[in-house]
Amino acid sequence: MSNQGKKVKAHYRGTLDDGTQFDSSYDRGEPLEFTAGAGQMIPGFDAAVLEMAVGEKKTVHIPAKDAYGEHNPEAVQTVPVAMIPGAENLPVGQTVYFNGPMGPFPAKVVSLDEQNVVLDMNHELAGKDLTFEIELVEVEG
């Protein structure tokens, strides 16, 4: 029985290969709701719930390519400080948000000097293999 196209609710705990937890619906006290197989989730997570039954738990290891993708060096850009108002106050090592044509987007400030700021627009989990403990708690329809 496939869950393809059905609204599902799942609890999960996501960890990196070193065991560091990066996210957990359990900690928020609310399962994640999405349409299975509709591309709303990272591909590996989406695929994992397609054949699960309500109450079933499974642990899946998802390689970077099926998670947030490989780290893309082209997403690391050097921008002249003069192009960004207030650039001198950008916090190196932290993620900031810029307004773009498609709305706000995150960028990690890699470095900053008097001339340029280097911004990494890769997802913070790009290039990382992930492990999810998934518990399917509800399937509608």
How does pLDDT run across 71-115, given as a tens digit for each residue? Answer: 999 999 999 999 999 999 999 999 999 888 889 989 999 999 999
Residues 65 and 131 in one domain: yes
120 falls in which pLDDT band (50, 70, 90)?
A: very high
Q: How far is CA 89 from CA 44, 54, 70, 100, in A?
A: 38, 49, 30, 20
Query: Is 1 contained in some domain?
Result: no
If asked whether residues 100 and 34 sit together in one domain, one would say no
Into how many domains does the chain fold?
2
The domain of 102 spans 73-120
pTM of the model: 0.82
Q: Are residues 65 and 133 in the same domain?
A: yes
Quick one: 75 exposed, middle or buried, by C-beta within 10 A (0-12, 13-18, 19+)? middle
50 pLDDT more than 90: yes
Residue 14, domain member (yes or no): yes
Q: Is the pLDDT of residue 1 over 80?
A: no
Residue 46's H or E segment, with its range, is: helix 43-49
Q: Do 57 and 110 have their domain in common?
A: no
